[in-house]
Amino acid sequence: MSVQGFWGLQLVPGKTYSQVVSAPFRITMASLAADAEAGKRTSVSVLVDEKEFVLCTLVPNKIEQQPLDITFVEGEEVTFSAKGQNNIHLTGNYVFQDDEDDEMGASMIDSDEEDNVEDFLKKLPPNASKEDINKALLGLEVDEEIESDEEVESDEEIESDEEIESEEEEEEPVPVSKKRPAEEVKEIASKKQKAEKKEQPKKEKSKKEEPKKEEPKKEQPKKEEPKKKEEPKKKEEPKKKEEPKKKEEPKKKEEPKKKEEPKKKEEPKKKITKLPNGLIIEDIKMGEGASCKNGQRVGMRYIGKLTNGKVFDKNVSGKPFSFLLGRGEVIKGWDLGIAGMKAGGERKLTIPAPLAYGKRGAPPDIPKNATLVFDVKLLSMK
């Protein structure tokens, strides 16, 4: 059963509206604004995969509305625009699955996964190291086979990927390894503090490097001043008048406001998006290159926490955690929250219980109906 919420966008001629779809939506109607000028035709266009398509053309008193049926899915990058003289209103609705159905399906999958993990751990040798256990749980050997298969583009690749996906759904704890001792939780917290300390000097260096670009601008007028001094060498009075100019020069150095302006410019980069299903996406750092889409294999670093700050899982070193985006290999909050990221990008995901582990939780680390907070970074995508 799907749940539908209202979606709308007002297009102004001469402007474009771009976004990476984080929640699927459907456009059902395009209409002229109430103040449309008579005789002025306006066309509505959409840019998808660097190709532009005209959705409809509206003319006052002739064609003022046009029914549409166009759906955009998660991960697509779209740009809307209007060409003409009149404003256009696009309306439709979001389309996403009912939370209750997702919880029932997730709980059934979780119970099967827990049984499989417990049976698998019993088969491991008693002297197995933590690294061996983690590799076994994350199915790293299966990932390596998938990556080698992806290099060969053939019909057999699709069939092998589907088989591997079904095996990963049964064996991988999505995406968190649940059975960790209390000592590892302490190690996670200490490593996180060290990582934060390392990031602080990097930010300070970037701030110090920015004002260096402004210093050459202050040195330029100093070269011009000696020219003025050379002209009136015979007169003693101009020298006295030029002295206060030297005193005024420190005022340029005392302008910290210009140095603080980059801080204000950096703040808008942290975009916060809240979806109707309760998922909150905060862009900490924008990456570079193309945006990741459903079906691509992504490599991630992450730190998972409860709302009280307790860390229950992480991947900050070694081989990145990888999975196929949008295929249900991880919790739904990850599939929705990571879509649209670029390589090197960082996000903070606040995931409500229905999009994580629901009413059951993942004992003993994740309680029932728990809201989870993930700091994620996209390292690679294929």
Q: Which residues are tagged catalytic?
A: 302, 312-313, 331, 357, 374
The Cα–Cα gap between 313 and 370 comes to 14
State the greatest distance between any 2 C-alpha atoms of the chain, in Å, as a whole number: 99
Torsion angles phi and psi, residue 276, rounded to 5: -60, -25
Tokens of 13: 């001629």
> Do strands 25-32 and 65-72 pair parallel, antiparallel, or not at all (unpaired)?
antiparallel
Q: Which amino acid is at 307?
A: T
Tokens of 355: 């999009």
The Cα–Cα gap between 347 and 156 comes to 35
| Other CB atoms within 10 A of residue 209 CB | 9
> Among 178, 189, 196, 160, which Cα is nearest to 118's?
178
Q: Which amino acid is at 181?
A: P
Contact call for residues 301 and 320 (beta carbons, < 8 A): yes
> Do strands 77-83 and 16-20 pair parallel, antiparallel, or not at all (unpaired)?
antiparallel
DSSP 53-105: EEEEEEBTTTB-EEEEEEEE-TT-EEEEEEESSS-EEEEEEEEEE-HHHHHHH
What string of H, E and C letters represents the secondary structure of 305-374? EECCCCEEEEECCCCCEEEECCCCCCCHHHHHHHCCCEECCEEEEEECHHHCCCCCCECCCECCCCCEEE
Beta bridge partners of 80: 17, 46
Instruction: List all residues 6 or more positions away from 178 whose beta carbon is below 8 Å from its beta carbon.
Output: 114, 117, 313, 362, 363, 365, 366
